[in-house]
Structure 1
């Protein structure tokens, strides 16, 4: 599996930089000369309105805090491009969905090709997590997605953060397996980058494993079945060779 510690970040459409901020020369197409292929990791964010999904997504995209953000009424997409050591340009596409109750049903069609789902909560919305997981179970029932819980606003305290036992109970109750649980602060940036790197690596490793398994299946050699008719052999008689 590829190591994200060797990643290089594309900060804008014009400039491609490595993790130290040094510019990488690109071809006229805007792509680095070492690039081999593109890959997209589509990740959906769920959470109640005001929980901090948009500020979290902006931190991942720009690694900075935006003090004021408009309410998301339908959908916003935030992207961060990562140039892996192999030359693969991986796009981490974070879909920020509306948290209002009236907009929740709009997320049904968004799950197509989704690799991961981030369910965010804070102290005020902790009791609504079960409802979010029920929605996830309903809308993503035909999709194989990895689910991550994120406790936001830990700069205000950590007493509200779910325990491992509570997460296990929620998973069993709603039939949704939670892969991991993170504590972050979109305001201060605490743990946001580490959370992003861990999730991106896990999703990319899973995608590579999936591609490897599919490739293995396609190269399976079919052996001759015993029921197949025998191959007729012909011999030349009176060969003067």
Structure 2
């Protein structure tokens, strides 16, 4: 059965999480800010450095209080975290402190540290009256708070595409690497067919329709099973 990794994007309101994901998946950027009101995910394949393709659920999180799926809840089930911030926004930088606590709490229940990639957005924009906070400074803060020796910090722009593909490929690489490192020779025989999750994710070890970066869908084998899974997922999401 296919392994699907869950990558959760955390960051303050307006940090650029949704724009980052939209550019990666659809190669598009609107330039308009619309607050994300409900956390959701999109499934896609990501190609690793060794040319292997892995399935990833990319979760975009909301800072709105009515959202039922909190960042803390999503981080508990995550395989990796993309910590997103706008280096020219004080509010975005302040939100990092809250999310660092969320990641640290989630890591306490795990055997290994939760993989984290630090993503600085809007690097193509000039900051009026303020200076962009360098990745190096934020990286040192994150490493200190999370007690991780080396966190990769990637500068991105959802308008020009700078570093966007690299950011998503990096988190996929880290998730896959940690999973491979934790595997034993007989682990495939002991893996459950359905991964436990609180977020309408009954398909983590099953084939399903994946959305590629070009927006096209790849049809998997056993179409009837796929349709059943999609219907079940839709029902779960409707009641979330």
Q: Same fold (TM over 0.5)?
A: yes
Aligned counterpart, 1:156? 125
Aligned counterpart, 1:133? 100
| Conserved? CA contact 1:40–1:92, under 8 Å | yes
| Conserved? CA contact 2:7–2:171, under 8 Å | no
Q: CA RMSD of the aligned region, Å? A: 3.3
Pairing 1:47-126 to 2, within 5 Å after superposition: 47-68=11-32, 70-82=34-46, 90-100=54-64, 106-122=70-86, 123-124=88-89, 125-126=92-93
Gaps of 5+ in 2: 189-240
Deviation for aligned residue 1:115:
1.2
- The number of residues matched between the two structures is 180
Deviation for aligned residue 1:184:
0.2
TM-score, structure 1 as length reference? 0.62
Question: Aligned equivalents of 1:135 and 1:56: distance in 2?
Answer: 21
Question: Aligned equivalents of 1:205 and 1:175: distance in 2?
Answer: 19
Deviation for aligned residue 1:216:
6.9
Q: Alpha carbons of 1:183 and 1:88: their partners in 2 closer, same or farther (altered >3 Å)?
A: closer
Higher Rg of the two aligned structures: 1
Identify the match of residue 169 of structure 2 among 197, 204, 209: 197
| Conserved? CA contact 1:51–1:152, under 8 Å | yes
Gaps of 5+ in 1: 1-36, 219-241
Aligned counterpart, 2:213? none
| Conserved? CA contact 1:61–1:79, under 8 Å | no
Aligned counterpart, 1:146? 115
- Cα shift readout 1:111-132 (whole Å, capped 9, x = no counterpart): 3441110111111122332222
Higher relative contact order, structure no. (Cα contacts within 8 Å, ≥ 6 residues apart)? 2
| Conserved? CA contact 1:44–1:118, under 8 Å | yes
Question: Aligned equivalents of 1:108 and 1:115: distance in 2?
Answer: 14
- SS state at 2:70 partner: helix
